[in-house]
């Protein structure tokens, strides 16, 4: 084997969290998505999404902002700079892993 196999970030590597981070990464830096919109885009239940958002927030990868629109509570989720960097490093690690796997016929 030519190189070291890269480590994959276990916080991002879980399928649901990878989908969350990949979706939020499509937004411009500083932009956020309302919880119901993210839930709908990902096709996840509110409870399942909440669990994964908590893990990502604890890692510092997302920021959750709770506010009100009129009298209605609204929760916004945004990828932090740390989250963007972690996602970038994760994608580089996946590419490196795939490149090492692609070397054999």
User: What would the CATH number be for the domain defined by 10-96?
Assistant: 1.10.10.10
Confidence check: pLDDT of 1 > 50: no
pLDDT value, residue 21: 98
Query: And the tokens for 80?
Result: 């932090």
The residue that leads in pLDDT, 16 or 101, is: 16
Question: 2 falls in which pLDDT band (50, 70, 90)?
Answer: low
Encode pLDDT of 26-79 as tens digits. 999 999 999 999 999 999 999 999 999 999 999 999 999 999 999 999 999 999
How far, CA to CA in Å, does 102 sit from each of 24, 37, 54, 90, 92? 29, 37, 35, 18, 15
Confidence check: pLDDT of 101 > 80: no
Question: 16 falls in which pLDDT band (50, 70, 90)?
Answer: very high
Distance CA 21, CA 39 (A): 13
Residue ranges per structural domain of the chain: 10-96
pLDDT value, residue 49: 98
């Amino acid at each position: 084997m030519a190189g070291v196999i890269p480590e994959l970030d276990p916080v991002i590597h879980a399928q649901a969290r990878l989908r969350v981070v990949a979706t939020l990464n499509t937004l411009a830096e500083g932009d956020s998505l309302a919880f119901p919109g993210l839930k709908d885009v990902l096709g996840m239940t509110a409870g399942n999404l909440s669990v994964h958002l908590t893990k990502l927030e604890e890692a510092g990868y997302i920021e959750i902002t709770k506010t009100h629109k009129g009298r209605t509570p609204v929760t916004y989720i945004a990828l932090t700079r740390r989250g963007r960097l972690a996602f970038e490093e994760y994608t580089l690690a996946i590419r490196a892993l795939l490149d090492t796997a692609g070397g054999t016929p």
